[in-house]
Amino acid sequence: MNFSDMQTEVFARLEESSSSPRFFSLAQVKEALNDGLEEISDATEWFERNRAVPHVADQLYYDLTTSLGSDQILTPKHAFNNQTNRWLEFKSARDLDNERLEWETVTGEEEKCLLRGLWWFGIFPHSSTATGSFTLYYTAIPPSMVEDADSPNFPEEYQYGLIEYAIGDLRAQERNYDDALRHFNEYLRYEQGLAHYVQGRVSRDRMNYFRG
């Protein structure tokens, strides 16, 4: 199902003409569908990305809100040293303190990583030169649908959740709260279904991370 199909379905179920709507504009329908895409993506983390992050000389922490381009990151999952071809081991700052008190001053090829706060990703040891990189694997919010041919890249059976969300959103805007709640409850069924699908996919994919 593409973005155009979704718009047509929403208008049809609202009993509106898609070519000359009376109550809801095309822009409102598009925004509601993209709000649904963001909501289901945030809840299920189905959208997986990876990006090579170049080393910055003597930099221990990398700001994930700027180091990953325009991606709006949700959760870091795995990190890979592109020089040694080895996966990094996630640790906490306390773990590293217990291993070596002055670990933040150690330079070399990264072997471990940690997350501080929401978006500060640290590597240990850290590089003393601006050469090489590590690849971060993470979940993110997907780009909004813009073109008519755009489509979410998760199974179509769950894409109907975006339609339910959009209708619920638009009904709420006109203060038809009972109908809005009914559609939001329908949306939640699709969200839960996609979450189960993603969890099953991740449990199988983890087999692929035994390397190096």
What residue spans define the domains of the chain? 3-45+152-208, 48-141
Name which of 58, 28, 119, 153 is nearest 10 in CA terms.
Answer: 28
Tokens of 150: 């755009």
Q: Which residues pair with 89 in a beta bridge?
A: 112
pTM of this prediction?
A: 0.86
Pairwise CA distance, residues 39 & 203, whole Å: 23
Rg over alpha carbons for the chain, rounded to the nearest Å, is: 22
Amino acid, res. 132? G
pLDDT tens per residue across all 212 residues of the chain: 999 999 999 999 998 876 666 789 999 999 999 999 999 999 999 999 999 999 999 999 999 999 999 999 999 999 999 999 999 999 999 999 999 889 999 999 999 999 999 899 999 999 999 999 999 999 999 999 999 999 999 999 999 999 999 999 999 998 999 999 999 999 999 999 999 999 986 544 444 433 33
